[in-house]
Amino acid sequence: MKQKERLHPVMFAGTGSDVGKSVITSAFCRIFLQDGYHPAPFKSQNMSLNSYATPEGYEIGRAQAVQAESAQIPCHTDMNPVLLKPSCDKICQVILNGKPIGNQNAYEYFKKEGRELLRKEVCAAYDRLQNRYNPIVMEGAGSIAEINLRDVDIVNMTMALHAKANVILVADIDRGGVFASVYGSILLLTEEERKYVRGIIINKFRGDLRLFESGIKMLENLCQIPVIGVIPYYHDIYIDEEDSVTLKIKNQKSDFGKINVAVILLRHLSNFTDFNILERDPRVHLYYTNNTKEIAKANIILIPGSKSVLSDLCDLRKNGVAQSIVQAFHSGATVIGICGGYQMMGQNISDPEQIESDIVHLPGLGLLPICSEIKREKITRQIQFSFLDQQEQCTGYEIHMGTTIPVNKKKIVPLNRLNDGSHDGYFLHSRCFGTYIHGILDNCNIIDYILAPYVRKSEENNPFNFKTFKEEQYNKLANHVRNHVNMEMIYKIMNNLTIENY
């Protein structure tokens, strides 16, 4: 195959948070792949509790792992060198090049002192990535025009200037105020920064596109920058989300005849993408809840991971959810814990060094004969394993701080056997078990095992293949975006050609 010409990098920056930058970046990773290039995503700094383990055993934001998957390449820390994982409203765990370097409050993190070290690290990560892939598809964070943070910026225009990236400004028309947000964002940039903004994308448009044609002309006249696409809102494309802000409203309406699966809604819930496969499985009605009545209606209860396990366990005890989980189990429901949820299912959890919170010790739910201790060392790795000694090979990843052992010298009954000879989790019986493995539900044989007691005979021969489903979604997303942006203009921008008559 003839080698493609090298394209200048492109950055999808936003007028604000949640305008669709991550999904658009995923779309263009797949578009460039379809067009014969070898793209890679890059976001220098990400803030999220939704993380992923790289093949080398380091931690990055889940969004960049999704974008790498869209580009059909292994994820790497160079794609997200700085990850911030909030443990409360003001304090984050700072992860640099895949490894935690400590906790900082927002004021400490955004101080000028020490900022050059982070800037040097993220630039070095970008440079390494740029040497391996073509093109680099960059993503900004929040608003492009956070002028109070300009001196400490390492993710938006400072990064664009380092990479000499062509910036495409993404605005969300669905939230309103699109003209002010676009024009104001550009106006607040410095004269030098404005030179790098080469196009505008209007995202999440609802209605008849013809009604916005005059609006496009107005924006172009105001900003002197072309609008290269207006992307309609979609309902039938499913890409992993970065943030858990919408979990409370997901799938609350009951669906008669399906298996009710309740995910416990924790205050510090992490890696909610563990349950995406169940959202798409036609046999399942999945909902996120901390309502005791809704928990009582569940056939299966899933306790997810947490960035602050003892704090969340304390909440569950105060609001009655802990008791409702135990009661549902004794009434016949299946209860499964993943990572922090697995720790909660035991007899007790301790955090003697107060690593996660100021709580030192709490009794667990008492469903499994185990106890856990939070420790400073973070285990981060991708793994292959067999589930309940089945022959089929499964995959997943671990991201946790802590160890779990049986109580009272009870014999361990492992749920999974890892390919390195070690074991994971605890299996009490088919309705009660826990694991440290994230992504465990992405394996079809495990989903089928969990759902088997509740599946109707007519559904047994219709398994759901999540990997095939995800590939279909990346292609649908790419086609949707491609059909509503001017790809010829984008390639001209990325070849640094002059755009005329827009």
- What was the pLDDT predicted at 110? 73
* Residues 432, 314 within the same domain: yes
Q: Which residue has the tokens 């492009």?
A: 144
**Lowest-confidence segment of 276-285, 430-439, 478-487 by average pLDDT:** 276-285
Kindly state whether residues 392 and 301 are assigned to the same domain: yes
Task: Let me know if 76 is a catalytic residue.
Answer: no
Decide if pLDDT at 464 tops 80.
no
Instruction: Show the tokens assigned to 473.
Output: 């979604």
Which residue has 């024009």 as its token pair?
A: 183
With contact defined as beta carbons under 8 Å apart, do 135 and 39 qualify? yes
- Is residue 83 assigned to a domain? no
Lowest mean pLDDT among 198-207, 262-271, 449-458: 449-458
**Distance of alpha carbon 336 from alpha carbon 342, whole angstroms:** 7
Q: How far apart are CA 439 and CA 445, in angstroms?
A: 13
Q: What is the DSSP letter of 6?
A: P
Do 224 and 258 lie in one domain? The reply is no
Packing angle, helices 466-482 and 21-34, rounded to 10: 90
Say whether both 322 and 406 belong to one domain.
yes
CATH code assigned at 187:
3.40.50.300
Kindly name the residue from 223, 339, 371, 394 that is annotated as catalytic.
339
The answer to whether residues 225 and 273 belong to one domain is: no
**Do 389 and 345 fall within a single domain?**
yes
Q: Is 303 part of any domain?
A: yes
Residue 234 domain boundaries: 10-44+116-238+473-494
pTM of the model: 0.86
Q: Say whether both 269 and 231 belong to one domain.
A: no
Q: What is the CATH number of the domain that holds 419?
A: 3.40.50.880
Judge whether 356 and 374 are in contact, CB under 8 Å: yes
Please tell me the least confidently modeled range out of 134-138, 241-245, 402-406: 241-245
Kindly report, residue by residue over 155-175, the tens digit of the pLDDT: 999 999 999 999 999 999 999
Whether 501 shows a pLDDT value over 60: the answer reads no
- List CB contacts of 13: < 8 A, sequence separation 6 or more: 21, 139, 140, 144, 156, 157, 160, 167, 168, 169, 170, 197
Give backbone dihedrals phi and psi of 187, rounded to 5 degrees, phi first.
-65, -30
The reported pLDDT for the residue numbered 49 is 87
Contact 340, 309 (CB under 8 A): yes
Residues 234 and 272 placed together within one structural domain of the fold: no
The torsion defined by the Cα of 204, 207, 209 and 215, in degrees rounded to 10, comes to: -80
When pLDDT is averaged across residues 134-144 and rounded to a whole number, the result is: 96
How high is the pLDDT of residue 251? 52
Tokens linked to 73: 């390449």
Domain shared by 322 and 194, yes or no? no
Query: Alpha carbon 47 to chain centroid distance?
Result: 10
* pLDDT above 80: residue 1: no
Q: Would residue 432 show up in a list of annotated catalytic residues for this protein?
A: no
- Three-class SS state of 103: strand
Structural domains of the chain, count: 2
Strands 227-232 and 197-205: parallel
Q: Token pair 């205050």 is at which residue? A: 267
Claim to verify: residue 399 and residue 294 sit in the same structural domain:
yes
Does the residue 56 lie in any domain?
Answer: no
pLDDT of residue 500: 60
Beta strands 166-172; 10-14: pairing state: parallel
DSSP secondary structure letter of residue 143 = B
**Is residue 18 assigned to a domain?**
yes
Identify whether residues 231 and 306 lie together within a single domain.
no
Residue 254, domain member (yes or no): yes
pLDDT at 112: 73
The distance from CA 367 to its chain's CA centroid, rounded to whole angstroms, is 29
Longest dimension (CA), the chain: 77
Span 26-55, average pLDDT: 96
DSSP-assigned beta bridge partners for residue 137: 10, 41
SS3 104: strand
Chain centroid to Cα 334, Å, comes to 26
> Looking at the domain assignment, is residue 66 inside a domain?
no
Is there a single domain that holds both residue 137 and residue 172? Answer: yes
Average pLDDT rounded to a whole number, residues 383-389 = 96
Query: Does 466 fall in a domain?
Result: no
Cβ atoms of 291 and 319 closer than 8 Å: no
Rounded Cα–Cα distance for residues 144 and 126 (Å): 19
**Residues 223-252: pLDDT tens digits?**
999 999 999 999 889 898 765 555 555 555
In a domain, 86, yes or no: no
What value does the mean pLDDT take over residues 282-303? 95
Position 356 scores a pLDDT of 85
